[in-house]
Amino acid sequence: MQALYDLPAPAKLNLFLHITGRRADGYHLMQSVFMLIDWCDTLHIEHRADGRITREDLGTGPALPAEDLIVRAARALQAATGCKAGAHIGVAKRIPAQAGMGGGSSDAATTLLALNRLWNLRLGTAQLQAIGVRLGADVPFFLRGANAWVEGIGDIISPLETLYGLPSSRFLVVKPEAGLDTKTIFSHPDLKRDSDSATISSFAADHYGFGQNVLQTVAQALCPEIGQTIAWLASKGLQGKMTGSGSAVFAQMPHAVDFSDADSKWQVKVCDNLRLHPLAGWASD
């Protein structure tokens, strides 16, 4: 095996996001449901015998930084395993940055899963997660490969498939031109940090109407475009909600929507949710 092509790295949506407290070290305690959607980056990975990690941008969007999460993930896997092989990684970037959709973390997870196979390392999911969590809090979720109830600082991941699988549905996702920095939101003095604890069973009674994103009030003050996109969704009869700590918003789409009047600077995409990550099962469990 010398190459793996057309590797998907799907985005996620936070169906709700509550902050239930804050640890002494400053990390926030959260509850959320992470749901995979079919808005994907695509990676192509070729084996290199010289041990070097190189990356090529294949898309038309802004160039990625030289030391992005893809390169860091590959080097972290080399360091953890002592692997002497290298890789050339091409990435077609489609998931917008600073959107709250986990694009960088998903790219890192796909890189780890693919190189684990390409380099014949035979690491299991838990071993890959131990590497991934040092790259970003969302990377373990994408490595687990299933929609999940997420708690703690993002480190307690409970797959929903067995008892609380999410119904198939379609969503309209809107990313305004402006982005949002995660640290700015979480350090804001007006952020609500005392949400009541929720339960999976209460969420399962209303999958797509449950809860709120408590970051949204602060985010709208920092980025007025978020409010504009939510108002635009409301004009279409849709209830918008922010995902994660970025500027993208989404709404369940029970009926067809004409979005030809959307601002030309917005990225607007109709997405279906995914039951599993396309590379689920690639770890050697």
Residues designated as active site: 12, 138
Q: Which residues contact 78 (CB under 8 A, 6 or more apart)?
A: 51, 53, 84, 85, 86
CB atoms within 10 A of CB 81: 17
Could you tell me whether strands 86-92 and 241-242 are parallel, antiparallel, or unpaired per DSSP bridges? unpaired
Phi, psi of 213, rounded to the nearest 5 degrees: -100, 110
Answer yes or no: are the C-beta atoms of 104 and 128 closer than 8 Å: no
Residue 32 identity (one-letter amino acid): S
User: Cα angle vertex 67, ends 66, 68, to 5°?
Assistant: 100
